[in-house]
Amino acid sequence: MPTEPIVRITRGGYTESLHRGAAAVVNTEGTVLHQVGDPSHFTFARSSAKPLLAIPVLEKAAAEGTAFSPEEISLLCASHNGEPAHVRIVENLLQKMGMSRDLLQCGAHEPFYKPAADALREEGKAPTALHNNCSGKHTGMLALSQLLNVSSGHYMDPQHPVQQLMLKAVSVMAGLPEADIRLGTDGCGVPVFGMPLSNLAAAYARLGRPDSLGAARAEACRQIVGAIRAFPFGIAGTGRFDTRLAEVTGGRIIGKMGAEAVFALTVPAEGLGIAVKVEDGNLRALYPAVMEVLLQLGLLDGEESKELRSFHRPILHNWSGTKVGEIIPDFRLSSPPPVT
């Protein structure tokens, strides 16, 4: 079965709705250790790929003697809230590289963080591309264009040198030939990478423990993990699960969400990568499922579980604030069947 029921929505003590999904827990060799549903279930990585896409940026920057701060690296990997600090860091990075915000091709949308969106409206200002949650990733692509000394005019094109380098990095990290990675177009216009969940999980296992990679790539991976650990606010923002997970665990566990309810995590000390996909793309089921995987693996202690419990079994309220139900993860991780 490619997917299984993983999250129940209750009302009045009854299950009203079900979300199906799949998950893979993988080591750095790509071996599936635990699963829900079919670990080869196909998914587009969406924004879960962002930390992987930062790898060639940092590799080339190091080769050219350019250094990025932890805050800047965290924003390269972010689906940020568009809070003032996010916007400031992205804008400063553009200026540092001698580039203008006008070069960003991600488009503009209101900040995800409501107080930031409200503040813009109150000031009579329109959101810019800097507020786009993908502006850090796009700034990294522009920076890589400059470091490669190639035109950035079509940096989103799959055949552009920047996108080719990013595809190669994803291929190596995921242990999947480039020809087997399916390409689509992400919400911000750049190529998005499709692969089995187990390969996405393997990429994250290697991100957190890059010993098997070349020296330059391993250093880039360590910088990425270290940056998110040092500045978890950058990866998402106030109240967001990605940020809270890294904050609460002290960076022992780092994860990145993607649109259409995909999530990937690295647990460097354990050499583990985890990938979770909710089949119908509904984000309300994603964080409860991820939390349940972490709890079943024993990766969160009691205090950490308490700090993150609102993401595990969210309470549903009606408009008057009365509790009417819960979002409940309901599955068991299993070991893969033996090879015969």
Residue 117 has pLDDT above 90, yes or no: yes
d(CA 111, CA 115): 9
Provide the CB-side half-sphere exposure for 104 (13 A, CA): 26
Mean pLDDT of the chain: 96
SS3 200: helix
**What domains sit in the chain, N to C, each tagged with a CATH number?**
4-329 (3.40.710)
pLDDT at residue 222 in the model: 98
Instruction: Dump pLDDT digits (tens) for 268-310.
Output: 999 999 999 999 999 999 999 999 999 999 999 999 999 999 9
Instruction: Record the tokens describing residue 23, joined without a space.
Output: 């998950």
CA dihedral angle for residue 32, residue 33, residue 34, residue 40, rounded to 10 degrees:
0
Q: What is the mean pLDDT of residues 6-18?
A: 95
Instruction: Dump pLDDT digits (tens) for 219-244.
Output: 999 999 999 999 999 999 999 999 99
User: Rounded to two decimals, what is the model's pTM?
Assistant: 0.95
The sign of the torsion formed by the CA atoms of 162, 108, 200, 226 equals: positive
Instruction: Dump pLDDT digits (tens) for 188-218.
Output: 999 999 999 999 999 999 999 999 999 999 9
DSSP 240-296: -HHHHHHHHTTTSSEEEEETTTEEEEEEGGGTEEEEEEETT--GGGHHHHHHHHHHH
Q: What is the mean pLDDT of residues 135-145?
A: 97
Return the amino acid letter for 189.
G
Would you give the end-to-end CA distance of the chain in angstroms? 19
Instruction: Dump pLDDT digits (tens) for 245-274.
Output: 999 999 999 999 999 999 999 999 999 999
How many other C-beta atoms can be found within 10 angstroms of the C-beta atom of residue 195? 25
| Structure confidence at residue 336 as a pLDDT band (50, 70, 90) | confident
d(CA 129, CA 110): 9
d(CA 156, CA 303): 43
